[in-house]
C-alpha cells in the first residue's frame, strides 16, 4: 500500500468531520436536514481518522 493513502484518509476525514460539525452547529451546508445523519458522519469520520492514523503509526515501525 502506498504511503500517501493513509494521509489522504486523514485529510478526507478532517474535511468530512468539519463539514458535518458545521452543519450540526450552524446549519450552513445542508440546512441540518437529518440530525442522525450528521452524527453518523461525524462518528464515521472519527473512525476513519483513527484507522488512518493507526496505519501511519504502524508503517513507521517497519
Residue 62 has pLDDT above 80, yes or no: no
Rounded CA separation 45/59 (Å): 21
- Number of separate domains in the chain: 1
Range of the domain at 24: 4-61
**What pLDDT was estimated at residue 1?**
62
Whole-model pTM: value is 0.88
Chain CA centroid to CA 8, Å? 10
Give the residue carrying C-alpha cell 517497519. Answer: 62
Instruction: Decide: 29 and 19 in contact? Cβ < 8 Å.
Output: yes
- Dihedral in degrees, nearest 10, Cα atoms 41, 19, 29, 23: 60
Taking only the tens place, the pLDDT of each residue in 5-57 is: 999 999 999 999 999 999 999 998 889 999 999 999 999 999 999 999 999 99
Instruction: Decide: 13 and 50 in contact? Cβ < 8 Å.
Output: no
Amino acid at each position: 500500500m502506498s504511503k500517501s493513502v493513509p494521509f489522504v484518509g486523514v485529510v478526507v476525514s478532517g474535511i468530512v468531520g468539519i463539514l458535518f460539525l458545521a452543519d450540526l452547529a450552524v446549519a450552513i451546508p445542508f440546512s441540518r436536514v437529518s440530525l442522525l445523519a450528521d452524527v453518523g458522519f461525524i462518528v464515521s469520520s472519527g473512525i476513519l481518522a483513527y484507522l488512518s492514523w493507526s496505519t501511519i503509526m504502524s508503517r513507521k515501525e517497519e
